[in-house]
Structure 1
């Protein structure tokens, strides 16, 4: 949905109450007013849709994997925490971040670790390069359309994979289908990552990860 700036004349006492509620809900004044007006006319704002989807994702993932879940009320994003069965059991976090761009809404799944181990970072880089090749190949096979899978990394040991974009748009999509797609991807990613470190150095690791990928994603209807 496109957003525009409008000028409104509001009662000071009403705005004061709006600000109190917005603060409690972790929202801005504009977001809360937009949400209240949307409810009044029987619509859902993009932020409301995202929150609803993320709540479903958190519920689905918790039922499938032993991950700690934290839903962030300010943006509707959700974060999952786990650890790797590797040296010192380093912690890993998966988080969704949503942005509005000219071509629609974008959702990025980020994977991060606070570990400073260069050895661990190299293994994570190897894993994501392996997964990217599988992801790009299987996406075209399953959905009969090409997609460029780009996994970026930064100096903070954070990897990012875009899941919602102009190629896989959220606009007009069914919430349950989106939630299933996003939750299945997180579950697949966690299981594949654990598999990689469990079988570190084995030749058949790519085959194992490919089977995990297909198990969770080949039968999904990509809204």
Structure 2
């Protein structure tokens, strides 16, 4: 959504209250006034849509004991924390970043982990490579755009595809994100503790793919 600089005459008292509210909300004057006007004329801004998606994800994952979601209002990123069934119970953080622009990717999903265990690093790296292989095999042929993947020290990054062929509500996108992260988290934990091998991960991913309403 394009933005343009406009000159407006506003009362000092109104601006002071707007600035105070913007500070409490973690945003700035321009963004807050833009959102207030958008709400008044019933226009959904990219920021509002992202906020609605994150709030819906938070509500959908609230009953889960495996994933703890957190996001700050008006932020473009939310995080979810998960504890691994591994020695010393290390944690993994999922970071979901959504882009304002509707072009290209919808956003990025990052899986962030910190550990000194060489065995755990090797096991997680193996799972990430397996995950990409499975998605290249089953998901990629059904998408209108290619997915981008990257693996760094302590971080696995995957782009989030724009759903193809339909207009999706914030709830649709939130459900797709929630279910995808739950699947990833469940299969990764099963892989790390030896309950799932490559064949099991591939079979469960394929079965889940057939149940998805939208593909991201």
TM-score by length of 2: 0.86
Aligned residues: 214
Residue in structure 1 matched with residue 157 of structure 2 by the alignment: 160
Unpaired runs of 5+ residues, structure 1, are none
Give 1:190's match in structure 2, choosing from 185, 201, 206.
Answer: 185
Matches within 5 A, 1:56-67: 56-67=56-67
1:21 Cα deviation (Å)? 0.6
Higher mean C-alpha deviation, range 115-124 or range 28-37: 115-124
Residue in structure 2 matched with residue 125 of structure 1 by the alignment: 125
Residue in structure 2 matched with residue 179 of structure 1 by the alignment: 174
**Residue 43 and residue 210 in structure 1: after superposition, are their counterparts in 2 closer, same or farther (change >3 A)?**
same
Residue in structure 2 matched with residue 207 of structure 1 by the alignment: 199
1:160 Cα deviation (Å)? 1.2
**Residue 159 and residue 4 in structure 1: after superposition, are their counterparts in 2 closer, same or farther (change >3 A)?**
farther
Do the aligned residues in 2 keep the contact of 1:136 with 1:148 (CA within 8 Å)? no
Superposition CA RMSD, Å: 2.5
**Residue 42 and residue 149 in structure 1: after superposition, are their counterparts in 2 closer, same or farther (change >3 A)?**
closer
Do the aligned residues in 2 keep the contact of 1:70 with 1:78 (CA within 8 Å)? yes
1:52 Cα deviation (Å)? 0.9
What does the per-residue CA deviation read over 1:100-158, in whole Å, with 9 as the maximum and x for residues that have no partner?
358366321111113233432222221111001111222145xx345433321334x12
Unpaired runs of 5+ residues, structure 2, are none
Do the aligned residues in 1 keep the contact of 2:51 with 2:74 (CA within 8 Å)? no
